[in-house]
Protein backbone atom coordinates (compact mmCIF):
# COMPACT_ATOMS: atom_id res chain seq x y z
CA UNK A 1 0.00 0.00 0.00
CA UNK A 2 1.21 3.51 -0.86
CA UNK A 3 -0.15 6.77 0.49
CA UNK A 4 0.21 10.12 -1.23
CA UNK A 5 -0.93 13.22 0.62
CA UNK A 6 -1.65 16.62 -0.97
CA UNK A 7 -2.39 19.66 1.13
CA UNK A 8 -4.51 22.63 0.02
CA UNK A 9 -4.88 25.08 2.89
CA UNK A 10 -6.93 23.07 5.36
CA UNK A 11 -8.03 20.48 2.89
CA UNK A 12 -6.08 17.25 2.60
CA UNK A 13 -6.30 14.84 -0.26
CA UNK A 14 -5.09 11.36 0.57
CA UNK A 15 -4.42 9.18 -2.42
CA UNK A 16 -4.16 5.50 -1.58
CA UNK A 17 -3.03 2.70 -3.84
CA UNK A 18 -2.97 -1.04 -3.24
CA UNK A 19 -4.62 -3.02 -0.50
CA UNK A 20 -5.73 -1.69 2.84
CA UNK A 21 -5.63 -4.87 4.85
CA UNK A 22 -4.69 -6.04 8.31
CA UNK A 23 -1.01 -5.67 7.50
CA UNK A 24 -1.16 -2.17 6.03
CA UNK A 25 -3.99 -0.67 8.09
CA UNK A 26 -1.76 0.37 11.04
CA UNK A 27 0.42 2.40 8.62
CA UNK A 28 -2.69 3.98 7.11
CA UNK A 29 -3.92 4.88 10.56
CA UNK A 30 -0.61 6.36 11.58
CA UNK A 31 -0.36 8.47 8.41
CA UNK A 32 -3.81 9.89 9.01
CA UNK A 33 -3.22 10.62 12.67
CA UNK A 34 -0.18 12.67 11.75
CA UNK A 35 -1.95 14.83 9.20
CA UNK A 36 -5.59 15.42 10.02
CA UNK A 37 -5.25 17.55 13.16
CA UNK A 38 -5.69 20.91 11.42
CA UNK A 39 -7.69 19.52 8.57
CA UNK A 40 -11.27 20.68 7.89
CA UNK A 41 -11.78 18.83 4.63
CA UNK A 42 -10.49 15.31 4.18
CA UNK A 43 -10.75 13.64 0.81
CA UNK A 44 -9.77 10.03 0.19
CA UNK A 45 -8.98 9.21 -3.39
CA UNK A 46 -9.77 5.48 -3.67
CA UNK A 47 -9.07 5.20 -7.39
CA UNK A 48 -6.13 2.88 -6.78
CA UNK A 49 -7.55 0.98 -3.81
CA UNK A 50 -7.98 -2.66 -4.75
CA UNK A 51 -9.29 -3.97 -1.49
CA UNK A 52 -10.16 -2.87 2.01
CA UNK A 53 -10.38 -5.17 4.99
CA UNK A 54 -12.25 -4.65 8.21
CA UNK A 55 -9.09 -3.20 9.76
CA UNK A 56 -9.12 -0.58 6.98
CA UNK A 57 -12.78 0.05 7.55
CA UNK A 58 -12.01 0.68 11.19
CA UNK A 59 -9.50 3.39 10.19
CA UNK A 60 -12.07 4.99 7.89
CA UNK A 61 -14.66 4.88 10.66
CA UNK A 62 -12.23 6.44 13.10
CA UNK A 63 -11.38 9.17 10.57
CA UNK A 64 -15.07 9.77 9.91
CA UNK A 65 -15.69 10.25 13.62
CA UNK A 66 -12.79 12.70 13.90
CA UNK A 67 -13.93 14.64 10.85
CA UNK A 68 -17.47 14.73 12.15
CA UNK A 69 -16.04 16.93 14.92
CA UNK A 70 -13.81 19.26 12.84
CA UNK A 71 -15.17 19.37 9.29
CA UNK A 72 -16.10 17.05 6.50
CA UNK A 73 -14.83 13.87 4.92
CA UNK A 74 -15.55 12.19 1.63
CA UNK A 75 -14.33 9.33 -0.53
CA UNK A 76 -13.96 9.68 -4.30
CA UNK A 77 -13.27 7.33 -7.20
CA UNK A 78 -14.26 4.23 -5.23
CA UNK A 79 -13.96 1.04 -7.28
CA UNK A 80 -16.84 -1.34 -7.71
CA UNK A 81 -15.53 -4.18 -5.57
CA UNK A 82 -14.52 -1.81 -2.77
CA UNK A 83 -17.95 -0.22 -3.06
CA UNK A 84 -19.36 -3.73 -2.56
CA UNK A 85 -17.48 -4.04 0.68
CA UNK A 86 -18.84 -0.68 1.83
CA UNK A 87 -22.33 -1.82 0.96
CA UNK A 88 -22.01 -5.17 2.69
CA UNK A 89 -20.64 -3.66 5.85
CA UNK A 90 -23.17 -0.84 5.84
CA UNK A 91 -20.42 1.77 5.58
CA UNK A 92 -22.37 3.35 2.74
CA UNK A 93 -24.72 4.50 5.48
CA UNK A 94 -22.18 6.56 7.32
CA UNK A 95 -19.58 7.48 4.68
CA UNK A 96 -19.94 10.28 2.16
CA UNK A 97 -19.01 8.49 -1.04
CA UNK A 98 -19.05 10.40 -4.33
Partner 1 sequence: MVKKFGLKLGGLQQKILNLVLVFLLALMTIFAGVSFYQVTTLDTVVDDASREQQDAIGKVSDDTMHQVIGNSMIKTNALQAYIADDMFSDVKTDVATLQSLATELFEHMDSFEPYPFALPDPAKDGEFSAQVIFEDGVDYTKSEYLGIAAHMSDTMIAMCEQSGYLDNCFIGLADGTHLCVDDQSANKYDENGVLLSFPVRERPWYTSAANAGELWFSGVEADTYTGKIGVECSAPVYKDGELVAVVGADLFLDSMGDYVKAASNQGGYISVINNEGKVIFAAEGNGIFTVETSDNARDMRADENKELAEFISRALTEQTGLTSVNVNGKEYYIAGSPMNTVGWAVISFIEKEITEQPAQIMMSEYDRINDNAAGKFNEAMAYLQQTTLVMIGVLLVLGVVTALFVAGRIVKPIEHMTKRIDEISGTDLAFEMDDSYRTGDEIEVLAQAFSTLSKRTINYIEQITRITAEKERIGAELELATRIQADMLPNIFPPFPERTDFDIYATMTPAKEVGGDFYDFFLIDENHLGMVMADVSGKGVPAALFMMMAKILVNNFAMMGGSPAKVLEQTNAQICKNNDEEMFVTVWFGVLDIKTGRITAANAGHEYPIIKKANGEFEIFKDKHGFVVGGMDGMRYKDYEFTLEKGGTLFLYTDGVPEATNADNELFGTERMLASLNAEPQADPKTLLGNMKRSVDEFVGDAPQFDDLTMLGVKLL
Q: Which residues pair with 51 in a beta bridge?
A: 19
| Interstrand relation of 2-8 and 11-20 (parallel, antiparallel or unpaired) | antiparallel
Q: Please pick, from the candidates 23, 30, 33, 47, the single residue that binds partner 1 as defined by CB under 8 A.
A: 23
d(CA 12, CA 6): 6
Q: Find the binder of partner 1 among 9, 34, 80, 93 (CB under 8 A).
A: 93
Query: Which one among 3, 61, 76, 97 touches partner 1, defined by CB under 8 A?
Result: 61
Does position 94 bind partner 1 by CB under 8 A?
yes
Closest by Cα among 53, 52, 58, 32 to 43? 32
Report the interface residues with partner 1, using CB under 8 A: 21-23, 25, 51, 53-55, 57-58, 61-62, 65, 85, 87-91, 93-94
Amino acid sequence: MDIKKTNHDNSLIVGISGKIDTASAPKFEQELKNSINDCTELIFDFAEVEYISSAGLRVLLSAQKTMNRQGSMKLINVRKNVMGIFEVTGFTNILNIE
